[in-house]
Structures are given as structure tokens and as C-alpha cells.
Structure 1
Amino acid sequence: MRRIYFLVPDIATTNRIVDDLLMAKIEERHLHVLAKRGTPLEDLPEANLLQKSDFVPAVQQGLALGGTAGLLAGLVAVVLPPASTVIAGGVLLATTLAGASVGAWLSGMVGMSIGNRRTKEFEEAIEAGQLLLLADVPADRVLEIERRVKQHLPEVEIEGTEPNIPAFP
């Protein structure tokens, strides 16, 4: 799946685009609209915490850093005497898993309190009243979906495509 970002000037146009994407068999759970606080979105699929915050990238970074720190701590524990070979494997595994878990949890908590880095560049436009539509589409349908959007809004500029999005948000 790839995430496509594009700005839409008003709710009526956004409704038409979302309806067209639904007709193109893009599920509603793969469409997300970000708007200025207080904007009534009517039946549009509003972006949730996973799209508005930096939760997912923060968890990924925390998992990697915590796992690395846990592995290093395990290696230090194995090098210190009295370590036997049988226990060493268990210690390495346990400290790596513990470090990865704690890192992911702490980073996720921090990430939820930080705005999404990818949508920061659109903040001015959103505050000016535009809507940011995020569409998660299969990689082989990106060009088709971009063409469908341009039928409704010829002057739209596709603001970018994320190479991969996580499966769970």
C-alpha cells in the first residue's frame, strides 16, 4: 500500500472525490481527511490519531533503538563472569526483547503527543481552510487514483506518495 497526499479546496469537492474513490473500490478505512479544527466534516472519513500523530514512525524507531540497546546490554552481561554458554543465549534474547518492548512503548507514547511529521508541511494550507486527503491505495493503482482525483480537480497537485505504509493503521 502507498499513501497519496493531496490538498482539496473545499468540503463539496472532497465529498465528490471520496465518493469517486469509494466507487473505485478504495475502502473508506483507507481514506483519511485532515481539516482545520472545528471544520464540520459531515460524512467524510476523519483522520484518526494514527494519521494525525507520529505514533507509527516513533514505535518503529523505538523498537530498533530499544532492541539495539537491549542486545548491547545482553552482550555486556554475557561477557561478565560467571556466564555459561547455555544461559548466554537466553540472556541475549531476553534483554533484546525487553529493550525492544520498552523502546517501542516509550517512543510510541512520545510519538502520540507529536504531530505527524509528514503532514507538517500542509499545516498552513489546512489552517487556511483547505482539506488534506490521504488515500492508502495499492502500489499498482497509484497512477489510476491520481487520474481519478485530477478529473474532479484538474489543478490539484499530488503532494507526494509515501513508499510504504504500515499494515495496522
Structure 2
Amino acid sequence: MRRRIYWLVPDLASARRTMDDLLLARIGESHIHFIARDGAELTGLHAANLLQSSDIVRAAQSGLVIGGAVGMLCGVGLALLGPLLDSTPQWGLVGALAIAGGLFGAWSASMIGASTPSHRLLRFMPAIERGDYLLMIDVPRGRVDEIEDRLAALHPEAHLEGVEPGIPAFP
């Protein structure tokens, strides 16, 4: 399990030096993510992708649950209506519509979530809009203190903004 460390870095030069120091500390580039305001320079930095900067995963999960529930309710309604139109209830519709509803709900909600900033990052938005760079580092649980101490010693201009207790494996 990894933990995500958040740092605010004041400018591009400092962000590049911080990334170099993290690479020297053997943190892989795929575990270092930067977010900056729109139009900001990110050359030489590993920019956060859509999964890390938006609410796409959270929205897809919600859409899956809601869509599956609505699909299941529609399936139950149709299955109970079946004996009025036919001789036997069609209980297979319940599962089929629950799956179809869940898939449609996840897809449609993820389209909305892709355009919504991550709820985890909302507290950093004022600083990002001022021009700071948000650095997110995913490190093994045992290295959190080591990395925090290293960055605090090498980059006094940067500010530790906290540690997220656990992050999903893929974003």
C-alpha cells in the first residue's frame, strides 16, 4: 500500500529540482505527479493524468451503483409485469437490466467526472491558481518520513500539505 504525499512548490525551477531530487531518492517517475494552473509550463515534469486530477473514478463508482439499482428496479417491474402479458415471470430480466444499467450509469457518470476536479484536490485550488505547483508523490508506507525529511531539508521553499492515508492502486 502506498501513501500519497502532497507538497506545494512555488515555481517551475523549484518543481524541476524537486523532481530531480525525488528521482535521485529512487522514487519512480510514474509515482511523481504535478498539477499546475491552466497554461502553466510543465516541461521536464511528470504531469498528473486524468485519473489523478479529476473525479472520474469516484463518479464511475457512483454511476455503477445507481445505474445498477435503477436497472434492477426496472427488471423487477418488468418481471412482475410478465405474468400479465405472458404465462411466466422473466426473472432473467432483473440481472440483465441491472448489469446494463450499471454499465450505462458508470459510463455516463464517468463522462461527467472527467470534467470535474478531484474532490481530494479542491483544497489546493487557490494555491494552484496563484501559480504554485502541486506535487503528489506516491511512496511506500515505510518511506513517508524519509521522503518528507529529505524534501524539507533540500527544499525549504516548498510546503508539506499532508499525507493521504491510502491511495488506490491504479490512479
Give the TM-score normalised by the residue count of structure 2. 0.82
Give the Å deviation of 1:101.
0.5
Structure 1 SS opposite 2:110: helix
SS in structure 1 of the partner of residue 118 of structure 2: coil
Q: Percent identity?
A: 48
- CA distance 1:149–1:93, shift in 2 (3 Å): farther
- Between the aligned partners of 2:28 and 2:10, the Cα distance in structure 1 is 23
* 1:18-33 pair list within 5 angstroms: 18-33=19-34
The one-letter code sitting in structure 2 at the alignment partner of 1:104 is: A
Residue deviations 1:40-79 (CA, integer Å, cap 9, x gap) = 2221111222223221211111112212222222233333
Higher mean C-alpha displacement, 137-146 vs 126-135: 137-146
Aligned partner (choices 156, 165, 168) of residue 167 of structure 2: 165
Aligned amino acid, residue 96 of structure 2: A
Aligned residue-pair number:
167
Q: Is the 8 A contact 1:6 1:133 kept in 2?
A: yes
* C-alpha RMSD of matched pairs (Å): 2.4
TM-score by length of 1: 0.83
**What is the match of residue 120 of structure 2?**
118
Structure 2, unaligned runs of 5 or more: none
Which residue does 2:71 correspond to in 1?
A: 70
Shift in CA distance, 148/73, structure 1 to aligned 2, threshold 3 Å: farther
CA distance in 2, matches of 1:147, 1:166: 24
Take 1:84 and 1:2, find their aligned partners in 2: how far apart are those partners?
Answer: 54
Q: Could you say what secondary structure the match of 2:5 adopts? A: strand
The 8 Å contact of residues 9 and 159 in structure 2, kept in 1 or not, is answered as no
Q: How much has 1:130 moved relative to structure 2? A: 1.1
- Any idea what the Cα deviations from partners look like across 1:102-156, whole Å, max 9, x if unmatched? 1110111011122222222212211222110011223343333222222223475
Q: Pick closer, same or farther for the CA change 1:42–1:112 going to 2, 3 Å.
A: same
